[in-house]
A and B are shown apart, each in its own frame.
Chain A
Amino acid sequence: DAMVIQNPRYQVTQFGKPVTLSCSQTLNHNVMYWYQQKSSQAPKLLFHYYDKDFNNEADTPDNFQSRRPNTSFCFLDIRSPGLGDAAMYLCATSRDRGQGRDTQYFGPGTRLTVL
C-alpha cells in the first residue's frame, strides 16, 4: 500500500544531460514537495505545489524545474545536471498546508548520480 512512489529509485545521468524524476501519490493530497538531500546534509526544500500553484524556494537554482500535470503526479526536471546536483531527491506530500502543521509523507527517494 505504497502512498508516495518515486521512480526510478536510482538514476545515473551524464553531466549536462537533462533528467526527469517522477513522483506519484495515492493519498489525494493537495500539496507535493521536492527536497534535495546531499550526503550527510539535511533535506532541503526545492519547491512545492499547492494544488496547481507552484512555489519556488528563493535559493533553488534555475536548473531545477517542476511539473504537476494532475493531483497524483509531480515531476522534477534537472535541465543540465552538474556534478554538484548528485544527491538523494525526496518527494513528499501533505493533505494541505495546514498552517505548517500537516504531516508530510515521504517517498523512498531517488538517488541521482551525475557522471
Chain B
Amino acid sequence: AQSVSQHNHHVILSEAASLELGCNYSYGGTVNLFWYVQYPGQHLQLLLKYFSGDPLVKGIKGFEAEFIKSKFSFNLRKPSVQWSDTAEYFCAVNAPGTASKLTFGTGTRLQVTL
C-alpha cells in the first residue's frame, strides 16, 4: 500500500545538537512533499515544501530538507536545535492524481533538552 513512513517516533536531543528526521514514501511518479510542525498546544503549520528544482529546500526557523528521488526520501534537518524546536513533526506527501490530498506520516515527537 502507498504510505509515508517516519521511522523515528520520539527523538530527544540536547540544545545545539544537529537534527535529522527521516521520511520515506512509497509513491511512484512525481510527488509534492511537505513537512508540517505542531508546537505544544498549537495547530499544525507548514515548515517547508518541495515540488521541483533544487532538491535541497529551506524552510522557516533554520530547517531544511533534502529530496533524494532514488531513495524516495525527504529528510528534515537542522544544524543546531533550540529548546523552542520541541514539537511534533509530520512528513506529508501529495501523490500523483490525488488532487490536493495529503497523506501524512505518523509523526516524530522531538524533545529538546536544555
Contact = CB atoms under 8 A, between A and B. Distances in A.
Interface of A: 4, 31, 33, 40-45, 48, 50, 55, 57, 90, 92, 94, 96-109
Given A42-B107, A43-B44, A100-B101, 7 more contacts: A40-B106, A41-B106, A42-B104, A42-B106, A43-B104, A100-B95, A100-B100
Contact of A100 (B45, B94, B105): B94
A100 B106 contact: no
Interface in B79-109: 90, 94-95, 98-107
Given A45-B101, A55-B99, A100 B32 contact: yes
Interface size class for chain B?
20 to 34
B100 A106 contact: no
Given A42-B90, A100-B32, A94 B100 contact: yes
Interface string B20-46: 000000000000100010000011111
Given A42-B4, A101-B32, A48 B43 contact: no
Interface of B: 4, 32, 36, 42-46, 49, 51, 90, 94-95, 98-107
A90 B49 contact: no
Contact of A90 (B44, B51, B99): B44
Contacts of A103: 46, 49
B63 to A, nearest CB: 15
A102 B101 CA distance: 10
**A-B pairs with the 9 shortest C-beta distances?**
A100-B94, A42-B104, A106-B44, A97-B100, A106-B43, A108-B43, A100-B32, A42-B106, A43-B104
25 contacts: A4-B43, A33-B100, A42-B4, A42-B90, A42-B104, A42-B106, A43-B102, A45-B102, A45-B103, A48-B100, A48-B101, A55-B99, A94-B100, A97-B100, A100-B32, A100-B98, A100-B100, A100-B101, A101-B32, A101-B49, A103-B49, A104-B46, A104-B100, A106-B43, A109-B43
